Amino acid sequence: MKTAILGGGLSGLTLARLLATRNEDVTILESGDRTGGLCQSVQKDGFTFDTGGSHIIFSRDQEVLSFMHEVLGCNRNECERNTKIFYKGLFIKYPFENGLYALPKEDLFFCINEFVKALIASEKGEFKPPANFREWIYQTFGKGIAECYMIPYNEKIWNYKTDLMSAHWMEGRVPRPPVEDVIRSAIGIETEGYTHQSVFSYPLDGGIESLVRAIYEPIKERIITGFRVTSVTWDGAKWVISDGTRKIVADRCISTIPLQYLIPTLWDVPDDVRKAVDDLKYNSLVSVSIGIKGNVPPVSWMYIPDEKTGMENRISFPSNFSPGTAPAGCSSILAEITYNEGDTVSTMSDEEVISHVTRSLTGMGLISPGSVISTGLYRHRFAYVVYDLDYQKNIAVVREYCKKIGISLVGRFSRFEYLNMDGCIRNAIDFVRGS
């Protein structure tokens, strides 16, 4: 049986590798001139940056973690997480509830008092199931942590109002913080949250794309780049996939490309399916790379909830992930800004965005203007899935249609789920086992 996989990102390449180990005939069709998708990396002026935002290698899923470690082999550097939140000019420990002791006293009282109120209300059964993401935040963390950090940060990264987002996706993703840890944090006793991230790894050389390359190395001859799919049709016996010039014929078609690219390639798609796809929400991403002379703080990455600080929602320090990402005597910073077409960022030139980020980092005390020796900017249309209130209804319509016509969906923007790297790999593993 011949399988055609649409898309050569992390999901498509992992899927192809796994199918190939079963001796299946697999062809990967990638529209760009290179694979990797959001996991691409660039080398510039001696620096290495990931263009699709900061990526690290970690997972609660030991099978997936072992897979990533094994394919990377010796090209792996292990790091201890040191993550901060920039809050009112202070560097607060992440997660926010584990850094309460460093807050201004009034904010500290606000956060701990409201957390206890929410905890009591929850135990007394006073909360109804949350109707939206904002209600979930209030019920889980209390008004203080919600308003000081959780709501402003989440509305910044998702570029969407939290009361217009669904709460369903938080199930099992972020647990209520243990009350003991919150109290310890409030009085200055060291606590750790999200311990599955406390130790992570990153490629020594090549950026996160070296993970992608290691995955596709055994199957690289099965990849066709520059193949932008324009039509996908079933002729009664086979799938015929065309880019307008070439045709690939296959017994099975698996899509890992965004639904917004897949659905227009299909014939006679019902109006309700097209509308459901049009109504799915997502964010785009701008990544700004900054290379400097000298050192950066010993921080892994940092969250920026306040709009006044800058448009970026997160900054990371790749040179702290691996010494191979920066020349000797230099360091690096990667800033991420989420946006949608029509937003301010979408109308700014690359130079204007880079200038804005440089000023912001200077204002935070992270760099001095004279230290910058390299800059770059990279845009990705599809970066984050946004779970709006109509998400579950819309995605059900699309998935049911694709199932009906026989096209399988795997990966972040084909499943249209907020999957991290490990989630994409798990999705591919599960698909192969079930096929």
Query: Cα dihedral sign for 190, 193, 196, 201?
Result: negative
State how far the Cα of 163 lies from the Cα of 170, in Å rounded to an integer.
14
Element housing 64 (H / E): helix 62-72
At a CB cut-off of 8 Å and minimum separation 6, what does 247 contact?
240, 241
At a CB cut-off of 8 Å and minimum separation 6, what does 328 contact?
none
State how far the Cα of 260 lies from the Cα of 115, in Å rounded to an integer.
41
- The predicted pLDDT at position 191 comes to 79
Burial of residue 109 (number of CB atoms within 10 Å: 0-12, 13-18, 19+): middle
* Structure tokens given for 24: 């299946």
Alpha carbon dihedral 153, 154, 156, 162, in 10-degree steps, equals -130
CA atoms lying within 13 Å on the CB side of residue 415:
16
* Structure tokens given for 238: 């086979």
Amino acid letter, residue 198:
S
Best CA proximity match to 38, nearest among 49, 53, 48, 27: 53
State how far the Cα of 199 lies from the Cα of 197, in Å rounded to an integer.
5
Angle between helices 133-145 and 105-123 (to 10 degrees): 130
At a CB cut-off of 8 Å and minimum separation 6, what does 426 contact?
61, 63, 64
Structural domains present in the chain:
2-39+206-280+389-434 (3.50.50.60), 96-193 (no CATH)
State how far the Cα of 83 lies from the Cα of 324, in Å rounded to an integer.
21
- The predicted pLDDT at position 119 comes to 93
Asked whether the beta carbons of 128 and 312 are under 8 A apart, the reply is no
- Quote the pTM value: 0.95
* Structure tokens given for 423: 């989630």
- The predicted pLDDT at position 257 comes to 98
b/e code 1-22 from CB counts within 10 Å (16+ = b): eebbbbbbbbbbbbbbbbbbee
- The predicted pLDDT at position 435 comes to 83
State how far the Cα of 76 lies from the Cα of 56, in Å rounded to an integer.
11
At a CB cut-off of 8 Å and minimum separation 6, what does 71 contact?
211, 214, 215
State how far the Cα of 17 lies from the Cα of 4, in Å rounded to an integer.
13
C-alpha to C-alpha distances, 311 to 151, 153, 186, 220, 303, nearest whole angstrom:
16, 11, 29, 38, 11
- The predicted pLDDT at position 170 comes to 86
Q: pLDDT tens digits for the chain (435 residues)? A: 999 999 999 999 999 999 999 999 999 999 999 999 999 999 999 999 999 999 999 999 999 999 999 999 999 999 999 999 999 999 999 999 999 999 999 999 999 999 999 999 999 999 999 999 999 999 999 999 999 999 999 999 999 999 999 999 987 666 677 888 888 888 888 877 666 668 999 999 999 999 999 999 999 999 999 999 999 999 999 999 999 999 999 999 999 999 999 999 999 999 999 999 999 999 999 999 999 999 999 999 999 999 999 999 999 999 999 999 999 999 999 999 999 999 999 999 999 999 999 999 999 999 998 999 999 999 999 999 999 999 999 999 999 999 999 999 999 999 999 999 999 999 999 999 998
- Whose tokens are 């972040």? That residue is 412
b/e code 253-274 from CB counts within 10 Å (16+ = b): bbbbbbbebbbebbeebeeebb
